[in-house]
Amino acid sequence: MRLRDVPESWEVVATATPFTGNKTSVRTDDVVMPDGTVARRDYQVHPGSVAVLALDDEDRVLVLSQYRHPVRQKLWEIPAGLLDVPGENPLNAAMRELYEEAHVKAEDWRVLADVYTTPGGCDEAVRIFLARDISEAEGERFAVEDEEMDLEFARVPLEELVRGALAGELHNNCLVVGVLALQAALGSAGGVGGLRPADAPWPARPFEA
């Protein structure tokens, strides 16, 4: 049996936006349930994100440690960022984030996974890319500010990240999903070559090729 998520939209009889922030907002919808009753649902409206699992020629993953105030922890993560421009090609955004956060470029790109981070309370969609054949980018490093001023960088073997994720030592969703997806791809019959191309359609955040 092959499972697929399918588009569906229940009737909304009223909607409001009680909060609008710099990048995201909060929406309140009154949604008609299957039995005809109406339930109120509050959720964060998010532009979407991209993340990059950059793998070097020694099978090490480029990771960074960044303070995340909502959870009061410094988390090890992979480079990631918002889709700041509506309709932007996510590959272009991923290349930008890899350059800005790590001053790295890559020649080979594929899609690892598309996920909704917290679909019960936020509409954020994330596309996680696999980037290989990586090297230092040319030119000056991108200027950092705020939490990014305290970043730590490391290159860690994929197996160690998988171990840390399964041991409950690593918690960033893009890191965990990315390393487990890559491990699964490497162990599959098609290998990394069976992954989707970098320009694969993304219905959650449609873009121009």
Question: For the segment 101-147, what is each residue's pLDDT rounded down to a tens digit?
Answer: 999 999 999 999 999 999 999 999 999 999 999 999 887 766 655 66
Rounded to the nearest 10 degrees, how much is the dihedral formed by the CA atoms of 177, 41, 85, 111? 20
Tell me: do 53 and 41 sit in the same domain.
no
Same domain membership, residue 54 and residue 39? no
Same domain, 16 and 56: no
163: Cβ–Cβ under 8 A, 6 or more apart, which residues?
Answer: none
- Asked whether residue 104 is domain-assigned, the answer is yes
The answer on 192 and 121 residing in a single domain is yes
Q: Looking at the structure, do residues 76 and 27 belong to the same domain, yes or no?
A: no
Contact 140, 146 (CB under 8 A): no
**Are 61 and 141 in the same domain?**
yes
Closest CA to 66 of 81, 85, 83, 44: 81
For residue 2, being part of any structural domain is answered with: no
Taking alpha carbons only, the member of 143, 179, 146, 139 closest to residue 163 is 179
| DSSP secondary structure of 39-81 | EEEEEEE---EEEEEEB-TTSEEEEEEEEEGGGTEEEEE--EE
Residues of the chain short of pLDDT 50, as ranges, are none
Q: Does residue 114 share a domain with residue 38?
A: no
Q: Indicate whether 27 and 91 sit together in one domain.
A: no
Number of structural domains in the chain: 2
Looking at the structure, tell me whether residues 23 and 112 fall in a common domain.
no
Does a structural domain hold residue 141?
yes
Q: Is residue 16 part of a domain?
A: yes
Asked if residue 120 belongs to a domain, the reply is yes
| Co-location of 95 and 191 in the same domain | yes
Same domain as 112, residue 40: no
Instruction: Please enumerate in sequence order all residues whose Cβ is within 8 A of that of 60, keeping only pairs 6 or more positions apart, or say none.
Output: 155, 156, 157, 158
Residue 146's pLDDT is 60
Active site residues: 148
Residue-range definition of the domain harbouring residue 35? 12-45
pLDDT for res 150: 78
Q: Are residues 120 and 82 in the same domain?
A: yes
